[in-house]
Amino acid sequence: MENFWLLIQANPFYSISAAIGGLVVLVAIYDIFIQKNYPIIHNFPVLGHIRYFMILVGPELRQYWVANDKEELPFNRSEREWITNSGDKKNNTFGFGTSEVIYSIGYPIIKNAAFPFPDAKAFHPGGDPSAIPCIKVMGEAHKRKRPYRPKSLINISAMSFGSLSRNAISSLNKGAILANCYHNTGEGSASDYHLLGADLMWQIGTGYFGCRNEDGSFNIDKLKKKVEENPQIRTLEIKLSQGAKPGKGGILPGSKVTEEISRVRQIPLGRDCYSPNSHSEFSTPDELIDFVEKLAEASGVPVGIKAAIGKLDFWEELAKRMKERGEGPDFITIDGGEGGTGAAPLTFSDHVSLPFKIGFSRVYNIFQEAGISKDIVWIGSGKLGFPDRAIIAFAMGVDLIHIAREAMISVGCIQAQKCHTGECPAGIATQNSWLQAGVNVEKKSKAFANYMQSFRKELLSLSHAAGYEHPLQFTGADIEFSSGVNKFSPLDDILCYKRDSVEFTTMRDYCAEFTD
């Protein structure tokens, strides 16, 4: 035995081997006699840990080594590459033809014109070749004091400070300035990082963050003061529900409620922050209309609502009462069930609320039959951050599009799907100071702007290819879906309605207010 110890001391290799062997023996003893939670580890001591390690790193292995380019969800590798390459101003084109199965049921085709609209005739407001203003003006139909025509058809969807890091929010807001689009605050209120200069849509959820009393009830004076002090707040959005978890309130753990978030949301420091699942200010369509008018009168800006779609009786009653009263939301945001930056229970994510195309078409049709769809600005969200999906949404009746996860990808999100843990490795969906320090605000703001400009340029190219100058000129007749074996059907036939006709003249007519 003495010679054995002398041998170990004389040769480092034997020392290391002995240490490793001793560690393995200790782990085996722990696995067999002490831990009681994992039968696999008990039955296969030491080796059983490999199983749990492979489960831990499984998502990363599948993402980088196993899944093919069109296989991953919610965004496949090709989609993520298109966004990131656009943001980095790299080649975002693909070669050797499509890898899609174009005869599969539901596959969309955009019909090109024999005589495209000449690129040379296109008017570019402010010299930006990607600029596409909204045709409708928010608040015009209801004669709001400060109506608003969005400068961009594509804008940033609702993502709160608290859910996203300060650097991520700052990158998106500064990027919105460069891209000339607006930025939705999310229900966590307008933080300092939302107020860097971009136009804002302030979302008001069930927690009334930023405009609440100590007991959580709504405070109109606080809302009025914040809008007056921050003229970049151009619209207000009342959130009824969202695609990630419709009909369910949210929670921000107390560990995430920092001094900053406490101040912005007007909630106690370090305590769990709960959002109720319903509003305390209204519970009927008429009361909702009253609340919309109350906010519009106090703020002067257009006011709208956002919802994921389930039962339709509310929407039928809302359309009826809006027509009778001549009042109500200036815009309606329809969020598809496939959307979702927020953490949510699995069943809510997978099975609650209709997907975008179904939900939007049902609600839009109700308002169209009531004769008031033209008075409303329609906004779509839910994986619409790609030109082909945007064109289909426009042909269905959408006037504007909100993007969330696609915007996150453009500023560095790698789809690690750890948003709900606070441990986002890319520093996007976390409050960890070390992790979010990796997000270079100046660089990522430019990346977002590049992505937006690439997106809009491709929208214009698709429009020109179809013979149009503006994407909102698309109709359901310009889109066909595979609807059977060797059969394609026009979108109008599938929807059983035609979107409202667009009274479009030339792009120049919608740009005068922001081309000086």
> 412-423 pLDDT, tens per residue?
888 877 777 777
Based on the domain organization, do 140 and 41 belong to the same domain? no
Is a pLDDT exceeding 70 seen at residue 244?
A: no
Query: pLDDT > 70: what percent of the chain?
Result: 87
DSSP three-state, residue 422: coil
129 in a structural domain = no
Which pLDDT score is estimated for 67?
Answer: 63
Residues 33 and 172 in one domain: no
The reply to whether 61 and 159 lie within a common domain is no
Give domain status of residue 442, yes or no: yes
- Give the pLDDT band of residue 361 (cuts 50, 70, 90): very high
Residue 400 pLDDT > 80, yes or no? yes
CATH of the domain at 343: 3.20.20.70
Which of 51, 66, 81 is at the close of a domain?
Answer: 66
- What pLDDT score was predicted for residue 288? 97
The CA-based dihedral angle spanning residues 391, 395, 399, 405, taken in that order and rounded to the nearest 10 degrees: -40
Digit-coded pLDDT (tens) for 182-230: 999 998 899 999 999 999 999 999 999 999 998 889 999 999 999 999 9
Give the separation between CA 424 and CA 437, rounded to whole angstroms: 12
Do 142 and 57 lie in one domain? The reply is no
Cα–Cα distance list, 513 to 124, 126, 149, 476, 480 (Å): 13, 11, 9, 30, 36
**At 462, is the pLDDT very low, low, confident or very high (cuts 50, 70, 90)?**
very high
Question: What's the pLDDT at 365?
Answer: 96
| Cis peptide bond upstream of 45, omega within 30 | no
Same structural domain for residues 58 and 200? no
Q: Domain range spanning residue 48?
A: 2-66
Which of 436, 455, 473 is the endpoint of a domain?
A: 473
Residue 354 has pLDDT above 50, yes or no: yes
Domain assignment present for residue 47? The answer is yes
Tell me which residue has tokens 């696999």. Answer: 40
Query: Mean pLDDT across the stretch 431-437?
Result: 84
Q: What is the pLDDT of residue 334?
A: 95
CA 146 – CA 297 distance, rounded (Å): 10
Position 292 pLDDT exceeds 90:
yes
Averaged pLDDT of the chain: 87
Please report, as a single letter, which amino acid is at residue 488: F
Co-location of 153 and 44 in the same domain: no
Q: Is pLDDT at 15 greater than 70 in this prediction?
A: no
Residues 363 and 461 in one domain: yes
Domain count of the chain?
2
Residue 366 falls within a domain, yes or no? yes
DSSP 8-state symbol, 31: I
Torsion of CA 438, 444, 448, 449, to 10 degrees: 170
> Who wins on pLDDT, 251 or 386?
386
d(CA 208, CA 493): 42
What DSSP designation does 119 have? G
Region 458-486: mean pLDDT is 94
Band (343; pLDDT cuts 50, 70, 90): low
Cα–Cα distance measured from residue 283 to residue 305, given in angstroms and rounded to the nearest whole number: 14
Closest CA to 353 of 336, 366, 365: 336
Tell me, what's the pLDDT at 70? 64
| Residue 157 sits in the same domain as residue 26 | no
Residue 101 lies in a domain: no
> pLDDT per residue over 125-171, tens digit each?
777 889 999 999 999 999 999 999 999 999 999 998 888 899 999 99
Q: Are 181 and 309 within one domain? A: yes
Written as six digits, the tokens of 387 are 């030109």
Contact 59, 74 (CB under 8 A): no
Alpha carbon distance 391, 454 (integer Å): 15
**Quick one: tokens of 25?**
């023996």
β-pairing, 400-403 vs 303-308, is unpaired
Picking from 46, 66, 86, the residue at the C-terminal end of a domain is 66
Contacts of 177 (CB under 8 A, 6+ apart): 196, 197, 198, 445
Cβ–Cβ under 8 Å, residues 437 and 427: yes
Mean pLDDT, range 389-402, rounded to an integer: 96
pLDDT reported for residue 153: 96
Task: Tell me: do 153 and 46 sit in the same domain.
Answer: no
Q: What are the tens digits of pLDDT across the range 245-281?
A: 565 666 776 767 778 888 888 888 877 777 888 899 9
Q: What is the pLDDT of residue 201?
A: 98
**Claim to verify: residue 44 and residue 157 sit in the same structural domain:** no
Question: What number of residues does the chain have?
Answer: 516
The total of other beta-carbon atoms located within 10 Å of residue 22's CB is 10
Burial class (CB within 10 angstroms; exposed 0-12, middle 13-18, buried 19+) of 64: exposed
Tokens linked to 97? 């033809």
- Report the 10 Å Cβ neighbour count for 372: 17
Q: What's the pLDDT score for residue 243?
A: 55
pLDDT for residue 68 = 63
* 139/46 same-domain check: no
pLDDT, position 375? 96
pLDDT band at 104 (very low <50, low <70, confident <90, very high): confident
Query: DSSP assignment of 42-73, as one string?
Result: HHSTTTHHHHHHHHHHHHHHIIIIIS-TTT-S
Is the pLDDT assigned to residue 460 strictly greater than 70? yes
Token code pair at residue 33? 């006699």
At 57, the pLDDT band (50, 70, 90 cuts) reads confident
Contacts of 440 (CB under 8 A, 6+ apart): 167
Q: Is residue 12 part of a domain?
A: yes
Domain assignment present for residue 174? The answer is: yes
> Does pLDDT of 515 surpass 60?
no
Q: Which pLDDT score, from 0 to 100, does residue 516 have?
A: 44
Instruction: Please indicate, yes or no, if residue 38 is contained in any of the structural domains.
Output: yes
Q: How many other CB atoms sit within 10 Å of the CB of residue 483?
A: 14
Judged against a pLDDT cut of 60, whether residue 5 lies above it is answered with: no
Average pLDDT over residues 341-365: 79
Taking only the tens place, the pLDDT of each residue in 313-329 is 999 999 999 999 999 99
The total of other beta-carbon atoms located within 10 Å of residue 146's CB is 16
